[in-house]
Amino acid sequence: MTTLTRQDLNFGQVVADVLCEFLEVAVHLILYVREVYPVGIFQKRKKYNVPVQIFTDDIIKAQRNSVICPRPHSPLMSNDSAETSAYMSCHPELNQYIQDTLHCVKPLLEKNDVEKVVVVILDKEHRPVEKFVFEITQPPLLSISSDSLLSHVEQLLRAFILKISVCDAVLDHNPPGCTFTVLVHTREAATRNMEKIQVIKDFPWILADEQDVHMHDPRLIPLKTMTSDILKMQLYVEERAHKSS
């Protein structure tokens, strides 16, 4: 089996690209499924051979918090040859926000500095109601043993998308007027690099407030786990026990 080290940045870039693409789709899908924004602004696009939902062109105010919006290089929105369809937003500001966030996360992913990426849904009082936690682990020595590595990864990511689509069944309804934010939990040294990135990309990141991070009396609902040669990811939802208070 071939083993690579983290030094092989090219491969790290590939993994980061894959992850950022996936996270973009996942964030849009979470916003769609949990009805954070009206469903009318979402549009079906293709990703991983299955339908997903993306925001469409409508006027919506995007909340800009201490979240990172990545902009993956992948032309997700315009890539008609990508297979799966996803519901993605068409609202330019929101898309830009999400893309900028993930764009800043990508360097962290490349260096495997990211512990988890959390999509937090906040209620009107800015207290977290739900947290979709993507725990990401990249093995330090990437061992590639299979020819169909990427199609396998694609399949696994497809399963994630499917699971997010049906998470309604296990989650309570959110109160109206929710907003969202994205938090990134990094390993120690990463924040120093973040400052450099912020300056370059003109998209400020701040340390998250305690109130954004801490959820009172959470309930844990695991959704999906995947293991592959290049990536291990786990998705679970932390839900506040009493949502409308």
Partner 1 sequence: MADQFYLENIDEFVTDQNKIVTYKWLSYTLGVHVNQAKQMLYDYVERKRKENSGAQLHVTYLVSGSLLQNGHSCHKVAVVREDELEAVKSKLAVTASIHVYSIQKAMLKDSGPLFNTDYDILKSNLQNCSKFSAIQCAAAVPRAPAESLSSRKFDQSDLPASSETQASELTTNGHGPPASKQVSQQPKGIMGMLVSKAATKPQETNKETKPEAKEITNASSAGGKAPGKANTMSNFFGKAAMNKLKVNLDSEQPVKEEKLVEQPPVSVTEPKLAAPTGLKKSSKKAEPVKTQQKEKKGGKRVELSDDEAKETENMKKKRRRIKLPESDSSEDEVFPDSPETYEAESPSPPPPVFSPPDPLPKELPPIKSSSGESKRKRRRVLKSKTFVDEEGCIVTEKVYESESCTDSEEELKMKTSSVHRPPATAVKKEPREERKGPKKGTAALGRANRQVSITGFFQKK
In Å, how far are 45, 181, 188 from 23, measured between CA atoms? 15, 13, 22
* Among the residue ranges 17-25, 61-69, 203-211, 233-241, the one whose residues contact partner 1 (CB under 8 A): 17-25
**How many residues bind to partner 1 according to rule CB under 8 A?**
64
Residue 139 host element (H or E):
none
Residue 130 host element (H or E):
strand 128-137
Sign of CA dihedral 226, 228, 231, 232: positive
Close Cβ partners of 7 (under 8 Å, ≥ 6 residues apart): none
Minimum CB separation from partner 1 for residue 139, in Å? 15
The reply on whether position 206 binds partner 1 by CB under 8 A is no
Q: Which of residues 26-45 bind partner 1 (CB under 8 A)?
A: 32-33, 39-40, 43-45
Q: Which of residues 160-189 bind partner 1 (CB under 8 A)?
A: 161-162, 165-170
Q: Do residues 53 and 28 touch, judged by C-beta distance below 8 A?
A: yes
Would you tell me which residues interact with partner 1 (CB under 8 A)?
Answer: 1-3, 5, 7-8, 10-11, 13-14, 17-18, 21, 32-33, 39-40, 43-46, 49-53, 56-57, 72-77, 79-87, 90, 144-151, 154-155, 158-159, 161-162, 165-170
